[in-house]
C-alpha cells in the first residue's frame, strides 16, 4: 500500500501505529483467572483517527476469546476519544487524555445488545515505553463496581 500521510490530529498518537503482540492475564469476580495471547493493530488511513483492532486467544487451547474493533480519534491537543465495538454485543464511547506516550480513557457511554453482559463502565490505560505497549483494562458491571480486568504486555512487530 502506498504511504498515507498522517493527519495532523493523529500525530500525537503516532506512537501507537503498527502491530503489537504479546500476552496478558485477566481476572473477574466469580471466574477463574485466565491468560491470553493478544494482538493490537493501529492503522493510519490519512483521516483524523487511527483504525484500531484487538483480538485475543486463549493461551492454553488457542481458541479465540475477545475481539474489539474501532477508532482512536484525538479531540484536541492532549485529548482523545475512543469508539469501539466489542464482539459480545457491546459498544463503547470513551474519552480521556494523551500525555506523552500514555493514553487514559473512561467510558462516557456503553451500549448493549439485549443478549450482552451488563457492562456499565470501562477504563483503559495504554503506555508505550521502551518499544513495549502495556495495556490495562478495568470494567464494571451491574452489581460489580469498576475493577481490574486485564493487563497485557505487547511488543511491536
State the residues that interact with a copy of itself by CB under 8 A.
45-47, 49, 51, 53, 55, 63-64, 67, 69-71, 73, 75, 81, 83-87, 89-93, 95, 108-115
Q: Which is nearer to a copy of itself, 106 or 153 (CB)?
A: 106
Shortest separation between residue 132's beta carbon and a copy of itself, angstroms: 26
Residue whose grid cell is 502495556? 134
Nearer to a copy of itself, 90 or 133 (CB): 90
Comparing CB distances to a copy of itself, the nearer of 37 and 153 is 37
**Shortest gap between Cβ of 9 and a copy of itself (angstroms)?**
11
Nearest approach in angstroms of CB 130 to a copy of itself is 30
Q: What CA–CA distance (Å, rounded) separates 21 from 58?
A: 14
Gap between the Cα atoms of 105 and 84, Å rounded: 12
Question: Which residue, 14 or 29, is less far from a copy of itself as judged by CB?
Answer: 14
Exposed / middle / buried, residue 99 (Cβ in 10 Å: 0-12, 13-18, 19+): exposed
- In DSSP terms, which residues pair with 36 in a beta bridge? 24, 58
Residue 123: which residues within 8 A CB-CB, separation 6 or more?
Answer: 94, 104, 105, 106, 107, 137, 138, 139, 146
**CB of 107 vs a copy of itself, minimal distance in Å:** 9
Amino acid at each position: 500500500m502506498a504511504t498515507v500521510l498522517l493527519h495532523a490530529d493523529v500525530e500525537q498518537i503516532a506512537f501507537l501505529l503498527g502491530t503489537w503482540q504479546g500476552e496478558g492475564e485477566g481476572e473477574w469476580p466469580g471466574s477463574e483467572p485466565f491468560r491470553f495471547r493478544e494482538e493490537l493493530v493501529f492503522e493510519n488511513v490519512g483521516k483524523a483517527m487511527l483504525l484500531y483492532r484487538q483480538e485475543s486467544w486463549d493461551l492454553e487451547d488457542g481458541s479465540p476469546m475477545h475481539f474489539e474493533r474501532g477508532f482512536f480519534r484525538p479531540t484536541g491537543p492532549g485529548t482523545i476519544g475512543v469508539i469501539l465495538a466489542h464482539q459480545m454485543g457491546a459498544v463503547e464511547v470513551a474519552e480521556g487524555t494523551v500525555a506523552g506516550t500514555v493514553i487514559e480513557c473512561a467510558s462516557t457511554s456503553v451500549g448493549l445488545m439485549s443478549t450482552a453482559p451488563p457492562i456499565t463502565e470501562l477504563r483503559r490505560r495504554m503506555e508505550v515505553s521502551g518499544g513495549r505497549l502495556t495495556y490495562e483494562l478495568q470494567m464494571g458491571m451491574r452489581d460489580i463496581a469498576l475493577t481490574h480486568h486485564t493487563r497485557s504486555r505487547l511488543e511491536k512487530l
